[in-house]
């Protein structure tokens, strides 16, 4: 009886103490970080879209530059004209050409801004759709933009998901049919205003 009792006491002691030495350490929480700027700039969709938007920008700028050159020639003709009636007529043409040029500039600027907005929205939608499956595969507790994470607990492991997001974006983007991201270039240059006409004597 005493031997059985002693074994029971030892077994109970082992059962109570086992978790303290047998349990594996708790796994670290894993937080995914995403560098949005890098994803936009390095994915194929971003690169192809920037090329398209740059081409469109240059085409519009070329048109504005050509129109401004024509306006300069008209101004030169007006300055050289000695007949006052013809000079006044040229002055009216300058005013009208200037008005049209400025309207064209504003329209081009709106078109580029709209293209930029549509580009950003489409690519952002694609990125957001890819975040949950990437987080699931990498067993992440969450995903945040890298620039927004100022501090994490030492027990939290950071995982950069940007390369995986770029790889998956490229996989869903056929070549030549990229979703456009924001362009790096500024809007077209504003046309110069026509100088005020000198008062007639």
Instruction: Judge whether 177 and 45 are in contact, CB under 8 Å.
Output: no
- What's the pLDDT at 78? 86
Q: Running DSSP on this structure, what letter comes out for residue 158?
A: E
Q: What is the mean pLDDT of residues 137-141?
A: 94
Domain ranges of the chain: 28-172
Specify the pTM.
Answer: 0.64
The CATH superfamily holding the domain 28-172 is Skp domain (3.30.910.20)
- What's the pLDDT at 191? 53
Please report which confidence band the pLDDT of residue 65 belongs to, taking 50, 70 and 90 as the band edges: very high
Q: Running DSSP on this structure, what letter comes out for residue 154?
A: T
Inter-axis angle of helices 84-137 and 162-172, to 10 degrees? 110
- 124 to 119, 165, 180: CA distances (angstroms): 8, 11, 10
Instruction: Judge whether 180 and 119 are in contact, CB under 8 Å.
Output: yes
Model confidence pLDDT, tens digit, residues 20-43: 344 444 567 999 999 999 999 999
Instruction: Judge whether 131 and 165 are in contact, CB under 8 Å.
Output: yes
Looking at the chain, the whole-number percentage of residues with pLDDT higher than 90 is: 47
In the beta sheet, which residues pair with residue 29?
156
- What's the pLDDT at 170? 94
Q: What is the spatial distance between Cα 101 and Cα 140, in angstroms, rounded to a whole number?
A: 54
User: Nearest-CA neighbor of 45 among 148, 200, 180, 191?
Assistant: 180
Q: Running DSSP on this structure, what letter comes out for residue 147?
A: G
Which residue's structure tokens are 């708790």?
Answer: 26
Cβ neighbours of 142 (radius 10 Å): 12
pLDDT at 62 over 70: yes
What DSSP letter does each residue of 23-59 carry, written as one string?
Answer: SPPPPPEEEEEE-HHHHHHHSHHHHHHHHHHHHHHHH
């Amino acid at each position: 009886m005493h031997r059985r009792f002693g074994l029971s006491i030892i077994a109970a002691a082992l059962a109570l103490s086992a978790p303290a030495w047998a349990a594996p350490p708790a796994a670290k929480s894993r937080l995914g970080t995403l560098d949005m700027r890098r994803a936009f700039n390095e994915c194929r969709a971003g690169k192809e879209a920037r090329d398209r938007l740059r081409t469109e920008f240059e085409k519009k700028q070329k048109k504005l530059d050509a129109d401004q050159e024509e306006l300069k020639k008209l101004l030169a003709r007006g300055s050289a004209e000695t007949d006052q009636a013809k000079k006044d007529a040229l002055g009216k043409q300058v005013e009208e050409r200037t008005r049209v040029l400025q309207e064209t500039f504003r329209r081009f600027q709106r078109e580029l801004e709209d293209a930029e907005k549509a580009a950003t929205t489409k690519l952002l939608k694609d990125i957001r759709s890819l975040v949950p499956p990437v987080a699931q595969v990498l067993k992440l507790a969450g995903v945040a933009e890298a620039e927004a994470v100022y501090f994490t607990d030492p027990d939290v492991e950071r995982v950069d998901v940007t390369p995986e997001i770029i790889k998956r974006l490229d996989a869903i983007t056929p070549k030549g049919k990229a979703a456009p991201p924001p362009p790096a270039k500024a809007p077209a240059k504003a046309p110069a205003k026509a100088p005020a006409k000198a008062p007639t004597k």
